[in-house]
Amino acid sequence: SLLNEFDARLCGKVLVPSAYSQGTDLERLCEAVLKRNLFVQITGEQDGWLRYHALFRDYLQARLEKEHLATKPAILQQLIDNYAAQGEWERAYNICKGLDDAVLTASIIEQAGPTLLKLSRFHILLRWIDDLPPSLIDADPGIMSLKGATLVMTGKVRNGIDLLNQAVSAFTVNGDNARLARSLTRRSGAYYLLTNYSAALHDAELALKYCYKDVGLLAEALKTRGISLLCLNQSTSGLKDINESL
């Protein structure tokens, strides 16, 4: 009932081992639920997907709260992990909000950030971030970096750079090179928008020292360096970087 829509595959990922033991035939269990018409309906275009009727779902969730309260957090955590792995960020975020766990919510927002930025979902990101406790935002350089990048993309470039500066400083101190590289790449793009191509090039080159393990980030840093080089009339090197980033 916590899954809203479900099939045997999703149940296997989310409910084992929290609610069912390994080896439980969840395919047969789902078929039995449907065959006995236990207040379920087929949903979606794919075979095997089911949903409980709303009133019965609410009843089952109330039973879960009363009789198996300790099981619920584990199921929801596995559901969040599954949605995150599938890139279904809004579903993952909504479950985190329901758990009232600000730290977990911030983690999901940061993970979702690169995808949502690429999709230009800036207002969703800002709403999610601004919903976090201010003290958490101030203490979390990953969220500061993401908010800075989002502000840059919505036209508040200098405000965004201020946050990115704080994030870069924090990651430099704590040695988190992967997140430092992402923040430097974001700040490089911000400097480019301000036509400060030398600063953009400097940040991109620093980022490239740390992002060799992340292919997507490596491509982004190469592209940013290439564009900066082009703007500095270094067309041969710039085009080489841009071609390598593709």
Contact predicate 219/245, CB 8 Å: yes
Question: CA 237, CA 141: separation in Å to the nearest integer?
Answer: 32
pLDDT number for residue 49: 83
pLDDT at 111: 96
Kindly tell me if the per-residue pLDDT of 34 is higher than 70.
yes
- Contact by Cβ (8 Å): 223, 207: no
User: Between these two residues, 195 and 18, which has the higher pLDDT value?
Assistant: 195
Answer whether 50's CB lies under 8 Å from 6's CB. yes
DSSP letter (8 states) at residue 4: S
| Banded pLDDT at 46 (limits 50, 70, 90) | low
Residue of 133 and 10 predicted with greater confidence: 133
> For position 167, what pLDDT does the model report?
98
Identify the band that residue 97 occupies on the pLDDT scale cut at 50, 70 and 90: confident
In the predicted model, is pLDDT for residue 38 greater than 80? Answer: no
pLDDT tens-digit readout, 118-137: 999 999 999 999 999 999 99
Q: pLDDT tens across 135-166, in order?
A: 999 999 999 999 999 999 999 999 999 999 99
Res. 48: pLDDT tops 90? no
pLDDT at 10 over 90: no
Q: According to the model, what pLDDT value does residue 35 have?
A: 80
Report CA-CA distances (Å) from 44 to 49, 51, 188.
Answer: 7, 10, 43
**How high is the pLDDT of residue 155?**
96
| pLDDT 10s digits, 189-215 | 999 999 999 999 999 999 999 987 788
Residue 45 is predicted with a pLDDT of 63
* pLDDT tens digits, one per residue of 57-83: 888 888 888 887 788 888 888 999 999
Give one DSSP letter per residue of 59-107, joined into a string: HHHHHHHHH-TTHHHHHHHHHHHHHHHHT-HHHHHHHHHHHT-HHHHHH
Distances (CA, A) of 165 to 47, 97, 107, 155: 50, 29, 20, 17
49 touches 7 (CB < 8 A):
yes
The pLDDT value recorded for residue 230 is 95
